[in-house]
Chains A and B, each alone.
Chain A
């Protein structure tokens, strides 16, 4: 059983980096949308989420490209199969591809064999399509099973980002070796503020406010202690024009600071590893 060794509180970022910022994009094309009674697809909400795969991801890639920022994309296997071009474009632009289930499987109570098969299938599909090695994972519904971290470690993963319980990366001792956990948070998740059919509390301005507040608090704290910032962003929510503008403006504000480094999760995990 995976055992937490502890928070990596002595992580030291590369020289000149005061606060690494990981933009993590969760990319699906409607796989996670619940079916209507009678197992009928929910075309309305499904379409709103499918938007991310058809248009949202392209809008986001454009912004990241213009501002020369590298990020991490968590991708569902089936989304990559249905929309491979965006995944290839993301890799070509230097972004990291990580796994987020094959087809939005919720594995909280899954048999370990089923979960392992699903992880392997996701990795195979994503690696075949993207040509990139898959070393990171996030459970699509943020619900790990008791064996998730162990399975990831035995499948050769370096890091996971499915937990939400810390400000800093944590180190786990798993059956397959050490695994870095990069905890994130839904307190800054775009879907809450601009996602449909979420309550959309705040709209684009609200999204800007919550991201900026998170950054200010962490930036302040990072003066005297180790911190990193991680945002969970849906390609279907922030990908919309009004919201992608918020993303652009957020990045534009941050890049004026020389001690901010936008980083892929793999880089942050590697920085942690170099100290452990």
Chain B
């Protein structure tokens, strides 16, 4: 069991930081592809998503590099094994790396012992393949045990699996502390596509995409609102993009344009979860 630790001062960012933006690149490629009732992975969905590992992730890495901004790459263990080159390039470029389960398992459907086994397996893959000691974790489908397991069995600095707040909060349990850095529902997945493919997919079951224009507009709206609010209160903008969604050429322009747009504003800082954590921890000083 864990408890939330209250702030010891009013939450604030370091001087000069008005709006930190955390770009999370979900690098999961085909891991979450739809599986049919007969056990076969949907070849269409698989192929559409596999683009992420083969191409999309590289394109996103290039865009971040072009703008000279760092983000957090949230990567599935199996994806690291299948496409190690991109993970190595990501690490070399200085981005933060976090675990995203092994094969994008919906942890809410797993008993705690299996979830623990899968987290362990993922942690091991990052150590073996990248020499990376995972400090951050995100599962899109957290269970009621996720936080307990992370605290009890591992030494994570932060988790970003929960969607329940605007700002980070510290939790404590099993003699350890963890910063929860919630994410926003305004991910590219929510904006760009109807990700919940019907099961079984109908003959119309395809990716119901919104236009790049629409996605960019929604990202900017979120940014504008937070920037305005940031004049008076601490704000944080988590921005999730997927290798197979925004990694596509037409939508990659959206990320490119969004970064160009946001960069013009004073006090906007593109940060990793690790940076944001170290900043926010200052608010808990005794």
Contact = CB atoms under 8 A, between A and B. Distances in A.
Interface of A: 7, 32-34, 106, 108-109, 141-145, 162-167, 183, 185-189, 191-193, 197-199, 201-202, 206, 209-211, 213-214, 216-218, 221
A64 B171 CA distance: 62
Given A199-B194, A202-B214, A206-B213, A186 B207 contact: yes
Interface in B204-231: 204, 206-214
A262 B205 CA distance: 29
Given A141-B44, A188-B248, 10 more contacts: A34-B204, A108-B43, A142-B44, A165-B50, A165-B55, A183-B47, A187-B245, A209-B211, A214-B248, A217-B252
A210 B211 contact: yes
Interface string B239-261: 00000010011111110000000
Given A187-B248, A187-B251, A192-B207, A202 B213 contact: yes
Interface in B22-73: 38, 40, 42-44, 47-48, 50-51, 54-55
B8 interface: no
B51 to A, nearest CB: 5
Contacts of A189: 206-207
B43 A144 contact: yes
A142 B40 contact: no
14 contacts: A32-B203, A34-B203, A145-B43, A165-B51, A166-B55, A167-B249, A186-B48, A193-B211, A201-B208, A201-B210, A209-B213, A214-B250, A217-B252, A221-B249
B40 A213 contact: no
A115 to B, nearest CB: 13
A108 B205 CA distance: 15
B250 A217 contact: yes
A106 B208 CA distance: 21
A185 B48 CA distance: 7
Contacts, number: 111
Nearest to A32: B203
Interface residues of B, number: 32
Nearest to A227: B249
Contacts of A167: 55, 249
A143 B250 contact: no
B286 interface: no
A193 B214 CA distance: 12
Contacts of A33: 203
Contact of A217 (B50, B51, B194, B253): B253
A150 to B, nearest CB: 14
Contacts of A141: 44, 203
Given A199-B194, A217-B253, A163 B47 contact: yes
A232 to B, nearest CB: 10
B148 to A, nearest CB: 38
B244 to A, nearest CB: 9
A201 B44 contact: no
Contacts of A164: 44, 47-48, 50-51
A198 B204 contact: yes
A185 B248 contact: yes
A218 B253 CA distance: 10
B202 interface: yes
A191 B202 CA distance: 15
Contacts of A206: 210-211, 213-214
Nearest to B53: A165
Contacts of B48: 164-165, 185-187
Contacts of B213: 202, 206, 209, 213
B40 to A, nearest CB: 7
The list of the 7 closest CB pairs from A to B, nearest first, reads A217-B249, A214-B250, A213-B250, A165-B50, A206-B211, A142-B44, A202-B211
Nearest to B56: A167
A24 to B, nearest CB: 15
Contacts of A166: 51, 54-55
B208 to A, nearest CB: 5
Interface string B251-282: 11110000000000000000000000000000
